[in-house]
Structure 1
Amino acid sequence: MIMETDHLNAVARWAVSLMESLGGPGAGLTIALENLFPPLPSEIILPLAGFAASRGTFGLVEVLLWTTLGSVVGALILYGLGAWLGRDRLRRIVARVPLMKVSDVDRAEAWFDRHGSKAVFFGRMIPLFRSLISIPAGLERMSPVRFILLTAAGSAIWNTIFVLAGFFLGENWGMVEQYADVLQLLVISAVAIAVVSFVAVRVRQRGRGKMVG
């Protein structure tokens, strides 16, 4: 056994079981799925994988390679989803969404054209955006090679930080989750403020009859 799992939630226990059964590839699989299903938190899985490595369940380099590969695979699936959705379909969807304008899509595309590479790289190190940033990359048909390299680089940094934390903290690996929760709360708060501000501005514009295109 990697560790006692009684105090872990069902998702974390499942991740532990998978790593015990498959070793490094199990850690990579959980991280690939984490990209697609947010209830699988990398902030728990990665320190757990590091702790498992410290107990000799698998090698440290092995788990770093597998988790980074898992990150890339999960990101590519979402990239494919964005490419499948496409610009035209996205515009039709946005045109039907209250308080949204098609010109919002144009501005987002212009921003991504300028900052897409940095967004993909740094986005891999920000909770929530870790997964979501792959979709606009697919929408904008970023070069797959560039996308893979940037995703792998950003993911390797994020994964290494959390895996090493679990490796060196050992039995105290759970401390990582406490600090990660603070970071996630800050990100969620910033997003909530941005959304509320956007809605407030659009409601005001609608009231003044300025909601055009």
Structure 2
Amino acid sequence: MNTQTIMTLIDQYGYLAIVFLIALENIFPPIPSEVILTFTGFLTLTSSLTVWGSIVAATVGSILGAVILYGIGRLVSVDRLSKFVNTRTGRLLRLKQTDIKRAGDFFNQRGTIAIFYGRFVPVVRSLISIPAGMAEFPFWSFVGLSTLGTLLWNTVLINAGCLAGTHWQVVMGWFEEASTIILVGVTILIALLIGRYYYKKRNH
């Protein structure tokens, strides 16, 4: 979905479009929330949309998308993934049931931090809902943390778009650059942690 289509939908359908697009953005990460939210902020100056109404609509859309992905994670579940390791594909990937169990335990221990801060990282903000469901992280805690993190993200971007006015695309570019830097940093960190885990595992 290109930027022009996103802008047209929001301009024509207002809050309903915001809910729909943000829910879709959570399920399909390539749709940029930076575009949706900063343009929405700008529209609060030229349409009947309000800042707080837009924030609420965006937050509702985010939670809808997150809950859908959480449900997918519950369908997969740690138990089903443990059975997968016994298949040929699982053996080729060198997965073990103990690895799956450790991952589930780790998420339940650190999931609060991962779910909240994950809402500020592109791609991660969507995908974090799946392991939360797989690990059977408490549903209402998941919804609460997701709502808080998403509310902060939406508030910042929509207000930034509103303050920037006709220069909202410049602000959008800043957020996109910052998001890219954060994503690269998180990717490197995850790669280092995985490398460290397998290094220790091999030595033991």
TM-score (norm 1): 0.82
Matched, 1:37 2:28: yes
**Percent same amino acid at aligned positions?**
33
The alpha carbon displacement at 1:82 in A equals 0.2
Aligned residues of 1:54 and 1:168 also touching (Cα < 8 A): no
1:46 to 34, 37, 58: 37
Contact 1:166–1:176, Cα closer than 8 Å, also in 2: yes
Aligned to 1:119: 114
How many residue pairs are counted as aligned between the two chains?
A: 199
Q: Which moved more, 1:162-171 or 1:54-63?
A: 54-63
Indicate whether 1:164 and 2:159 are aligned. yes
Determine the structure 1 residue equivalent to 2:131. 136
Which structure dedicates a bigger proportion of its chain to helix? 2
Whether 1:179 and 2:174 are equivalent positions in the alignment is: yes
> For residues 167 and 200 of structure 1, do their structure 2 counterparts lie closer, same or farther at Cα, with a shift above 3 Å needed?
same
C-alpha spacing 1:93/1:149, structure 2 compared with 1 (3 Å): same
Q: Which residue of 2 aligns with 1:190?
A: 185
Match of 2:76 among 53, 75, 85: 85
Q: CA RMSD in A?
A: 2.5
Partner of 2:64: 73
Which of 4, 9, 14 is the matching residue for 1:23? 14
CA contact (8 A) 2:41 2:159 kept: yes
Secondary structure of the corresponding residue to residue 174 of structure 1: helix
In 1, Cα distance between equivalents of 2:72 and 2:23: 15
Shift of 1:196: 5.3
Per-residue CA deviations over 1:2-59 (Å, capped at 9, x if unaligned) read xxxxxxxx52211112112211121111000000112211011100111111212411
Q: Match of 1:61?
A: 52
CA distance in 2, matches of 1:90, 1:176: 42
| Structure 1, gaps ≥5 residues long | 1-9
d(CA) in 2 for partners of 1:155, 1:187: 17
1:105 to 100, 103, 107: 100
Query: Which amino acid in 2 is paired with 1:50?
Result: G
Structure 2 residue identity aligned to 1:68: T
Question: Secondary structure in 2 aligned to 1:40?
Answer: coil
Structure 2's unaligned 5+ residue stretches are: none
Q: Offset at 1:195? A: 6.1
> CA–CA distance in 2 between the matches of 1:180 and 1:97?
40
> In the aligned structure 2, how far is the partner of 1:138 from the partner of 1:184?
25
- TM value normalised by structure 2: 0.85
Corresponding residue SS for 1:43: helix
Deviation at 1:128, TM superposition (A): 1.6
Superimposed CA distance per residue, residues 156-195 of structure 1 (whole angstroms, 9 cap, x where no aligned partner):
0000000000011011111223222332322332344356
